A and B are shown apart, each in its own frame.
Chain A
């Protein structure tokens, strides 16, 4: 992974001093509330319902074991012993004291971490495929480009006061696991007919109140032009994005208002002027950055890896195959890598014991230790709010499973119903209309039979406590949106969303139902799916075949229909 040089370290150290000084001046009454708000947001600090919330950046979701241990330390020293991993691969602390935040930043800086621009109207953390560098279907590793964008965007003086936040995501594989279609800019790494590397560029995707699938604005952007093209897009957005209405200020609104053609014309015009300037990436520069992300020693790429993953079950040793639990965990929670003999192990943060995406300090230490002992010392954060330990030897899977189990990190549910994306919701967030974590709990309680979950198969359930859609409900196979109906918490269902290559926005099922009806409705949807599904169809596939009607027919029993009216 990327290692800071003296220049990088110097910058974040100075950033810590800068924020220390600003916070001191704020507490001394020398900075306006409104001004300090923008300063603290660009250091990841919100003032929330119960306490400040601090969002620490985990650039493109990659962590060293040392960094993960530091995150555990911070959870213990400054918070309530746990952290929450977010849909943008960052970590959030829900209970720090505002006056401690400069010290937290200083601690983070000792392990090359920070909270730079993790909030505010600026370029946020760039996210990417959690299988970057290891995926069997990889074209090329997107992480070097994520790091180049991270540095280009950090403290960019022109773009600190954009109309609104700006989110960039990268994928370097055939399957998009980074939800690039619902990002402000989505970069898909590919090769052109000359085998040169570049990006398909999609723009204006997003969720929230006006969900939009991004539009392809450029089929192939040469890799050398990544920074200049991004800058051109940002400059056009900064100049022409709406500033009159916070809910109409994202770039998706601008792209829609101008039309893709005109928007692209403005960007290309600006880009033409800067393309050959200082932002052009030299081949040596790209190569040097790529070298930071080279696979660990003793890794050989296995061209046959795709076939290998299918044959895996047969390869399992007889002793291990007796463990049905292990086998079902292995099937859901491990992924064969392109590197021969290696698997990546998911760490499920979706057990029934905790809010989705939460991890205690002890759990973080467990994962860090496993990464060191059995992996390559690296951990990834997925945008589904789980963790991943890459580069585990196949023969160590059983041992790793046992150790994860002991820390309640081995729920065999990756990609299944209970592997929910869930925002913090009303319990923590001042923007929320309804609780989301309590619903997750109810769903976990009801659907606790792993055999049943495995039979249902792949089901991406995504839940948001308000229209801001931080839980990505628009792109859930089943989406749940919390709404406020006459002061009460109600829940709206959508069906058929997807954040993958076939990206789509969910369709509204029907009227919102109250909290006590949610689980029953969900169960009726699943039962209907089981009844009408064809061989091999996921829930999403069945919905796409039959539409919403068969589900709507059964979704509302008498009680929920009455309440909803």
Chain B
């Protein structure tokens, strides 16, 4: 199930494409890092011909720096969690937003669970491919935990520190 940044189930306009045959049909496609490296020129040409957007799926082992020059051409980065306890994608998302000023969609997929959505949202993820949603079934999940936050983050919420600064003036 794909959730948008508000935690509401939506149709997925993207599809995963792993072979040249997969992306003959127009549409927005997500490819893995390996595919991107192997067929880089063909995919860029596909883009130039208006056949659809390109998204890149990175595993926890694939460094962001390796693809940093490609980021301006990508509309979506899908950070796939290997285990929900492996928190590397949280920092990758932070760097995507801040260091690389990535403004496209950052999606969380793989082993994530609904009690992580708020943290994911805060660091810059804005869509969630949730397979382990627990039960009972729902099409809506909270993507924020508390009404006040101690940290400034990619979600732009006013932090407790900032509120105190204002009241200090």
Q: Hey, which chain B residues are within 8 Å of A162, CB to CB? A: 87
Write out, one digit per residue, whether chain A residues 150-172 have a CB within 8 A of any chain B CB (1) or not (0). Answer: 01101111111110000000000
Choose among B98, B119, B160 the residue that contacts A157 (Cβ–Cβ < 8 A): B119
**Is B70 on the interface with A (CB-CB < 8 A)?**
no
Interface pair A156/B135, CB less than 8 Å apart: no
Interface pair A11/B87, CB less than 8 Å apart: no
Interface pair B123/A158, CB less than 8 Å apart: yes
Interface centre among B88, B118, B152 (most CB of A within 10 A): B88
Choose among A25, A31, A161, A274 the residue that contacts B90 (Cβ–Cβ < 8 A): A161
**Do A18 and B151 form a contact, CB below 8 Å, given A158-B94, A273-B98?**
no
Interface pair B115/A157, CB less than 8 Å apart: no
A10 to B146, CA, bound (A): 9
Interface pair B148/A7, CB less than 8 Å apart: yes
Interface pair B152/A31, CB less than 8 Å apart: no
Interface pair A157/B85, CB less than 8 Å apart: no
Interface pair A285/B165, CB less than 8 Å apart: yes
Q: Which residue of B lies closest to A8 (CB)?
A: B160
**Is B149 on the interface with A (CB-CB < 8 A)?**
yes
Q: Hey, which chain B residues are within 8 Å of A157, CB to CB? A: 90, 118-120, 122-123, 151, 153
Interface pair B86/A243, CB less than 8 Å apart: yes
Interface pair B86/A161, CB less than 8 Å apart: yes
A152 to B88, CA, bound (A): 19
Write out, one digit per residue, whether chain B residues 118-132 have a CB within 8 A of any chain A CB (1) or not (0). Answer: 111011000000001
Interface pair A32/B91, CB less than 8 Å apart: no
**Docked complex: A259-308 residues within 8 A CB-CB of B:** 273-274, 278-279, 282, 284-285, 288
Interface centre among B84, B85, B92, B118 (most CB of A within 10 A): B85
Interface pair B146/A155, CB less than 8 Å apart: yes
Choose among A30, A278, A288 the residue that contacts B168 (Cβ–Cβ < 8 A): A288
**Docked complex: B125-157 residues within 8 A CB-CB of A:** 132, 134-136, 145-153
Q: Which residue of A lies closest to B113 (CB)?
A: A35
Interface pair A160/B150, CB less than 8 Å apart: no
Interface pair A29/B122, CB less than 8 Å apart: no
**Do A14 and B147 form a contact, CB below 8 Å, given A30-B135, A278-B152?**
yes
Interface pair B165/A282, CB less than 8 Å apart: yes
- Looking at chain A, what size class is its interface with the partner chain? 35 or more
Choose among B84, B145, B152, B168 the residue that contacts A161 (Cβ–Cβ < 8 A): B84
Interface pair A235/B134, CB less than 8 Å apart: no
Interface pair B98/A10, CB less than 8 Å apart: no
**Is A311 on the interface with B (CB-CB < 8 A)?**
no
**Docked complex: B71-116 residues within 8 A CB-CB of A:** 84-88, 90-92, 94, 98-99, 113, 115-116
**Do A30 and B136 form a contact, CB below 8 Å, given A14-B145, A162-B87?**
yes
**Is A239 on the interface with B (CB-CB < 8 A)?**
yes
Choose among B91, B116, B168 the residue that contacts A239 (Cβ–Cβ < 8 A): B91
**Do A238 and B146 form a contact, CB below 8 Å, given A29-B135, A31-B115, A38-B85?**
no
Residues of A within 8 A of B (CB): 5, 7-8, 10-11, 14-15, 18, 22, 25, 29-32, 35, 38-39, 121, 151-152, 154-162, 235, 238-239, 243, 273-274, 278-279, 282, 284-285, 288
Question: Can you pick out 22 interface pairs between chain A and chain B where the beta carbons lie within 8 Å of each other?
Answer: A5-B164, A14-B148, A18-B145, A31-B113, A31-B115, A32-B134, A38-B84, A151-B150, A151-B160, A157-B90, A158-B123, A159-B90, A161-B87, A238-B87, A239-B88, A243-B88, A273-B99, A278-B152, A278-B162, A285-B164, A285-B165, A285-B168
Residues of B within 8 A of A (CB): 84-88, 90-92, 94, 98-99, 113, 115-116, 118-120, 122-123, 132, 134-136, 145-153, 159-165, 168
